[in-house]
Amino acid sequence: MSSPYTDPGTQPGPAVPPPAPAPAPAPRAGWLVAAGIGALVAVGLGVYGRIHEPTFFAVNLGGFSSGTAAKAWLATAAFALALVQLLSALLMYGRFPRVTAPSWTGTVHRWSGRLAVLLTVPVAVHCLYALGFQSGEPRVLVHSLFGCFFYGVFVAKMLLLQRSGTPKWALPVFGGAVFTALVALWLTSSVWFFTTSGLSF
């Protein structure tokens, strides 16, 4: 006959679930990778523009008197779209406390940015292929530097959009850098062209 006494230490107790694994830390340094790739793009464009022999002709769209005129007007259109991007970004980030961003603000923000960059492509082709990276005078040097920087920081921003765990400050900072670079390009090209040649096509 078995003993009615059972050692309490041997009695089965309630099942205790194993401790949950600690969540993996978010890749906070991902912005460094994006910035590094963007820097490589900027340097690569600069090196190509420097070693490429200028052809002094690349793009001439119909309706414009020259490639320089086409470049000036396309850059101006891109600048106008960049202003739309800036305004829509301020709305989405709640920088206008008394204004509620419409539901379509995000769509406008994305497409204005896409169209702005698309308009800069023929401009970049003209600058790199026809003119190259030049440093003969301060305005031209600043324009060349900001042209390379613009595409480098744009690539970095696009990479950040695809990463999870991106710091909250990263996208506004990189987006602001893209806008600043485009403004500098517009001032050193389109504004200079319109000042010296007038508002001609």
Report yes or no on 17 lying in a domain. Answer: no
pLDDT value of position 69: 79
pLDDT value of position 184: 93
**CA 90 – CA 120 distance, rounded (Å):** 23
Report yes or no on 86 lying in a domain. Answer: yes
Q: Which residues of the chain have pLDDT under 50?
A: 5, 22-26
Report yes or no on 178 lying in a domain. Answer: yes
pLDDT value of position 94: 78
pLDDT value of position 58: 56
Report yes or no on 28 lying in a domain. Answer: no
**CA 45 – CA 132 distance, rounded (Å):** 9
pLDDT value of position 25: 46
pLDDT value of position 197: 77
Split into its structural domains, the chain has a count of 1
Q: What is the dihedral of CA 11, 12, 14, 18, to 10 degrees?
A: 130
pLDDT value of position 38: 92
**CA 47 – CA 32 distance, rounded (Å):** 22
Report yes or no on 80 lying in a domain. Answer: yes
Report yes or no on 2 lying in a domain. Answer: no
To the question of pTM greater than 0.85 for the whole model, the response is: no
39-47, long-range: CB < 8 A, 24+ apart: 39/152, 39/156, 40/152, 41/151, 41/152, 41/155, 42/148, 42/149, 42/151, 42/152, 42/153, 43/148, 43/152, 45/128, 45/147, 45/148, 45/151, 45/152, 46/133, 46/144, 46/145, 46/148
Residue 83: φ, ψ to 5°? -65, -40
How many CB atoms are closer than 10 A to CB 197? 13
Q: What is the helix (H) or strand (E) element at residue 185, kind and residue range?
A: helix 170-186
Report yes or no on 188 lying in a domain. Answer: yes
pLDDT value of position 106: 86
Report yes or no on 22 lying in a domain. Answer: no
Closest CA to 89 of 69, 105, 67: 105
Closest CA to 38 of 149, 197, 193, 133: 149
Q: Which domain holds residue 112?
A: 55-196
pLDDT value of position 26: 47
